Structure 1
Amino acid sequence: MERLMQSIRIEINDKIYLKDPESSDLGRRIIQQSILMIDEMGFESFTFRKLGERIKSNESSIYRYFENKHKLLVYLTSWYWGWLEYKTVFATSGIADTAEKLQKTIEILTQTIQQDVSFSHINEVLLNKIVINEYSKSYLTKEVDQENKEGYFVIYKRLVNRLSEMIIEVDAKFPFPSSLASTILEGALHQYFLKEHFPKLTDCNETTTPTHYFTDLVFRALNPNNYG
């Protein structure tokens, strides 16, 4: 199983990058160090010039992989959602009970992230922090509709759809499966942000986690007695 996990590759839409960063040592260093730097200084302060200085490479070499830092952020967030998808698939493949399967999926999608040794050049803990703080910047742009048409967000949408289908399997009469699924993914990020920066605006703390909150929310919503 360990060898199988190490052979996993997260497939990213090739329109997001100019050259696949997984195809070379330089590309993997670009990904590795960009995660560290965006976590350190924030996306606004991060530049390819600073990244080039960090990895001791010409700035122009980074532009051979990504057209701009927006595309890099889309790549990083797409990788993150793809990684969560693969974890979900592996963790639930042997679960027959639909409610148990949904509960396990909610746990994976909302829990505190741990380092995954299967991908040595990517720090998933720091990438999770970046997604919490910066993910909205990948789609709150004037180009979002065109980028959506080109499939930039296909992994995220696929994960929402996968979760929506699990909700339907538990309660086929529930009228808002996609809305609930996207609320879980977006809401988990928001609850972690509130917990870190605005703790008085959330009930999540050191003992009550976003996983507790969303598990309770979902299974209350899926109770047929709630809506006739």
Structure 2
Amino acid sequence: MINLLSNLKISVPDKIFIKDPESSDLGKRIIEHGILLIDEIGFDSFTFKKLGVKIGSNESSIYRYFESKHKLLLYLTSWYWAWIEYQMVFATHNVPDDKDRLFKAIEVVTRTIKEDVTYTHINEVILNRIIINEYSKSYLTKEVDSENKEGYFEVYKRLIHRLREIIKNVNPDYKFPSSLASTIVEGALHQHFLKVHFSSITDCGKAITPTEFFINLTQNALKTNTDESN
């Protein structure tokens, strides 16, 4: 998978950035240290001024790439979901059985993340932690509808649509494939958050993984629907 992914460029909607950060060393440093700083102090406390100090550059140079820290968060989340999407595609494309393909897809979107050495300026483990803790801040805004129309969330929605189609292949009669797909993707973030911060209200932990939970949930949902239709 590493060799396959190394030949692909993670694509982020170009309206999110002013200048592609992948096009220069400074842009890559903005991404690399932006991830580290958001993880360290949280998105609410994060500013371009603080990031400028970290990378030894003027705050104004960061604004040449992103017009706001909100746009930087949108970039990071879009990059993450595109990276997950590529992994899902490669993990499932040679799996002939529909159920096995679905379980493999669920595994990709729910598992604990390991660092991918393909992208040296992005620590995917830390980025995953940011997605778990901060992703909702990218869309829980007054501008969400207009930003959605501009295509800022197209990568995230495309990932869910892919998972929805895999679900439909397993059971074409299931009435809620989109809802189940979005529940798996969003729910995985929530279960990973609960595991760390509110362990008393989740069964996921050292003995049970979010992957096991969502595979079980999906099996029961699709089986129940199939039984009712027979």
Determine the structure 2 residue equivalent to 1:188.
188
Q: Is residue 5 of structure 1 aligned with residue 36 of structure 2?
A: no
Q: Is residue 23 of structure 1 aligned with residue 18 of structure 2?
A: no
SS in structure 1 of the partner of residue 168 of structure 2: helix
Cα distance in 1 for partners of 2:208, 2:195 equals 10
Q: What are the equivalent positions in structure 2 for 1:134-149 lying under 5 Å apart?
A: 134-149=134-149
Moved more, 146-155 or 218-227: 218-227
Determine the structure 2 residue equivalent to 1:92.
92
Structure 1 residue 5 displacement after superposition: 2.5
SS in structure 2 of the partner of residue 133 of structure 1: helix
Q: Which deviations, in whole Å up to 9, do the C-alpha atoms of 1:24-56 show, x marking residues without a partner?
A: 000000000000000010001110000000000
Q: Identity across aligned pairs (percent)?
A: 62
Q: 1:77 to 1:89 in 2, by over 3 A?
A: same
Determine the structure 1 residue equivalent to 2:211.
211
Q: 1:214 to 1:19 in 2, by over 3 A?
A: same
Cα distance in 1 for partners of 2:77, 2:150 equals 16
SS in structure 2 of the partner of residue 227 of structure 1: helix
Determine the structure 1 residue equivalent to 2:228.
227
What TM-score comes out, normalization by structure 2 length? Answer: 0.97
Structure 1 residue 62 displacement after superposition: 0.1
Contact 2:5 2:86 in 1 (8 A): no
Cα distance in 1 for partners of 2:188, 2:8 equals 25
Aligned AA (1:158): R
Q: 1:32 to 1:137 in 2, by over 3 A?
A: same
Cα distance in 1 for partners of 2:94, 2:10 equals 22
Gaps of 5+ in 1: none
Cα distance in 1 for partners of 2:113, 2:2 equals 19
Structure 1 residue 169 displacement after superposition: 0.1
Determine the structure 2 residue equivalent to 1:132.
132
SS in structure 2 of the partner of residue 66 of structure 1: coil
What TM-score comes out, normalization by structure 1 length? Answer: 0.98
Aligned AA (1:220): N
Gaps of 5+ in 2: none
Aligned AA (2:99): A
Q: Which deviations, in whole Å up to 9, do the C-alpha atoms of 1:194-226 show, x marking residues without a partner?
A: 111000110001110100000000011111444
Structure 1 residue 96 displacement after superposition: 1.1
Q: Aligned-pair RMSD on alpha carbons?
A: 1.0
Q: Which deviations, in whole Å up to 9, do the C-alpha atoms of 1:55-97 show, x marking residues without a partner?
A: 0000000000000000000000000000000001111111111
SS in structure 1 of the partner of residue 94 of structure 2: coil
Determine the structure 1 residue equivalent to 2:167.
167
Cα distance in 1 for partners of 2:30, 2:184 equals 31
Moved more, 217-226 or 102-111: 217-226
Cα distance in 1 for partners of 2:204, 2:116 equals 25
SS in structure 1 of the partner of residue 65 of structure 2: coil
